Chain A
Amino acid sequence: MSAIQIVPIEWYLFLSIVLFTIGVAGVLLRRNAIIIFMSIELMLNAVNLLLVAFSSYLSDSKGQVFVFFIMAVAAAEVAVGLAILMMVYRNTKSSDINILNKLKW
């Protein structure tokens, strides 16, 4: 017994849309680079949830393998992104993205 047999697929669709929109709102609202990173993670997770829901709905395991790859890419992205953030902080003593409006200083 799976939730997909009871809960309509549309509900998962709308849940993912809401989570994705919250992530977009976080990127637009906040100025702290770390919180913007976390909002990006939230958007990735909204997509993951939808992939798993459709994979379960269609009884096809390929969707879940895609989620697996997205997790690997997200881990790599976070590692490099946080390293860049450390460099930026070392140079500017701040994690505010509004300082980063020039390419060289």
Chain B
Amino acid sequence: MITKALFIFLTFLAIFFALRVVSTKNPIHSVLYLVLTFFAIAGHYILLNAQFLAVVHIIVYAGAIMVLFLFVIMLLNLNKETEPHKSVWLKSSAVVASGLLLVVLVGALRGAEAIQTTNTFNSNIGLIENLGMTLFNEFLLPFELASILLLAAMVGAVMLGKKSIK
């Protein structure tokens, strides 16, 4: 089945690139691997019939946020492998702790019963038309609040970035 094969391929890519993000020494390579992870996740969105979100994901994450990261790394000259290393003991305890989290989450959700869906399957919910109807009918107030949040974030970032704050 081609869809299943695509799912497994994209999953493999996403997990591999995510591991590379964490394990690469050079921050620039880390950012580029994260962009590739985001492309794999966007592929998952397309497989799930969420085309609009896939496009927005690529534009916002790969296009805007990651460029911001690259910009800061270039600006601060962090592209050298100067990161001091944690001790082996700390590293192995971090790996053990996150591995235990994985085991707990998988163990908690493995035997969970699937929700019985009451809606009939509709492949059009990811289109802009339906998303827009939901967004502007049921989520109008959060949508307006998001604009205030973005304004506050912009003012805050400009204030923090200024040379000297009196």
Contacts and interface: CB of A to CB of B under 8 A. Distances in A.
Using C-beta atoms within 8 Å of the partner chain, give the interface range for chain A.
Answer: 35 or more
Contact of A76 (B7, B98, B101, B153): B153
User: Which range contains the number of B residues in contact with the other chain?
Assistant: 35 or more
A35 B83 CA distance: 10
Contact of B102 (A2, A6, A17, A45): A17
Contacts of B158: 83
Highest count of chain A CB atoms <10 Å: which of B15, B61, B95? B61
B121 A59 contact: yes
A80 B6 CA distance: 37
Nearest to A77: B153
B126 A73 contact: no
A39 B53 contact: no
A29 B22 contact: yes
Given A41-B61, A55-B125, A65-B135, 6 more contacts: A6-B3, A26-B21, A34-B72, A57-B115, A76-B153, A82-B68
12 contacts: A14-B106, A18-B15, A19-B15, A20-B105, A26-B21, A29-B22, A35-B22, A39-B22, A56-B49, A61-B126, A75-B60, A98-B84
Q: Kindly list the 4 A-B residue pairs having the minimum CB-CB distance in the complex, ordered from nearest.
A: A76-B153, A28-B94, A25-B98, A83-B160
Interface of A: 1-7, 9-11, 13-15, 17-26, 28-32, 34-35, 37-39, 41-42, 45, 48-49, 52-53, 55-62, 64-65, 67-69, 71-80, 82-87, 89, 95-96, 98
